Amino acid sequence: MSAPAPTYVPAASDVEAAARYGADAARRAADAVRDRLGVRAPACAIVLGSGLGALADDVADARRVPYAEVPGFPETTVVGHAGSLVAGTLAGREVLLLAGRFHLYEGHPAALAAFPARVVHALGAPVLLLSNAAGGVRRTFAPGDLMVISDHLNLTGRNPLVGPQQPGDQRFPDLTAAYDPGLRRQLREAAAATGQAVQEGVYAGLLGPTYETPAEVRMLERLGADAVGMSTVPEAIVARAVGMRVAGVSCITNPAAGIAHEALDHAEVLEVGRQAAGRFRALVTAFVGKLE
């Protein structure tokens, strides 16, 4: 018999959100789904961004729990985000997949946007691989390029660690190497092993939900951003605060506003993600196979 779906009620403030989506809540959520997922010793957890959810089809012996049945998780509302927690094996390694995420632009607090990172950490994952669909700020990018994230710019105006310090968190985590250099090297090696080239660069995380104006893209270019999107940063911050190693991959779905003159829309983002899915799946599978 499946557990009754918990009722999701939005938090009223950052302080309330920190308590509601903190370490204790993550442990309760992990306890609620551990037996259903049959989690033993996952090598890593992977967040699947817009249009990149097909990787879940490659997981052997897959067990799924809908987000609506994970305590503290709301249902996903964005097209291209399936909304399920998946456990199984990939490249012979135990993995956890987060098929969909919660975005700040949906009205969620930053602590909730990052809550899945806490939950997979409580389930034993030492590594978090984040993926996303992003606009290309670097002018040499082409739709379908894969970019290993080397660093990020948090331009959301939000931080998921605001509020009371959570048990086990670093109060002031060092983000000098937020995206682990060793994991970045392994992603490059995985790309070479699968016969594909990957880019590397800085991801700018904005609040959304609007796409950027051409003036904002020029600003991002001057700030040193190579790609821009509306996710990833909250999860990376919390994962580092709890001691996880973090890696990230952006699928460049379109040139950012003003670089090309075509109108931008989410359907295009999803379509380019689907077109790049085969290379993304090959890259991630090879990467997981290289993990200790």
CA distance 288 to 292: 9
- In the annotation, is 8 catalytic? no
- In the annotation, is 250 catalytic? no
CA distance 135 to 142: 10
181-193 vs 266-290: helix crossing angle, rounded to 10? 100
Q: Which candidate in 254, 276, 277, 286 is catalytic?
A: 254
Q: Which candidate in 103, 108, 121, 152 is catalytic?
A: 103
Q: Which candidate in 231, 236, 239, 277 is catalytic?
A: 231
Q: Which candidate in 81, 108, 121, 152 is catalytic?
A: 81
Beta strands at 245-255 and 44-48: parallel, antiparallel or unpaired: unpaired
Q: Which candidate in 17, 29, 50, 276 is catalytic?
A: 50
Q: Which candidate in 106, 200, 268, 271 is catalytic?
A: 106
- In the annotation, is 133 catalytic? yes
- In the annotation, is 132 catalytic? no
Structure-block tokens of residue 85: 């927690």
Cβ proximity of 169 and 242 under 8 Å: yes
- In the annotation, is 131 catalytic? no
Q: Which candidate in 30, 114, 122, 230 is catalytic?
A: 230
Provide the Cα torsion 237, 193, 97, 141; round to 10°: 60
- In the annotation, is 105 catalytic? yes
Q: Which candidate in 23, 82, 91, 105 is catalytic?
A: 105
Q: Which candidate in 219, 266, 268, 271 is catalytic?
A: 266
- In the annotation, is 179 catalytic? no
- In the annotation, is 231 catalytic? yes
- In the annotation, is 261 catalytic? no
- In the annotation, is 244 catalytic? no
Which residue's entry shows tokens 């503290």?
72
- Which residues are catalytically annotated? 50, 81, 103, 105-106, 133, 230-231, 254, 266
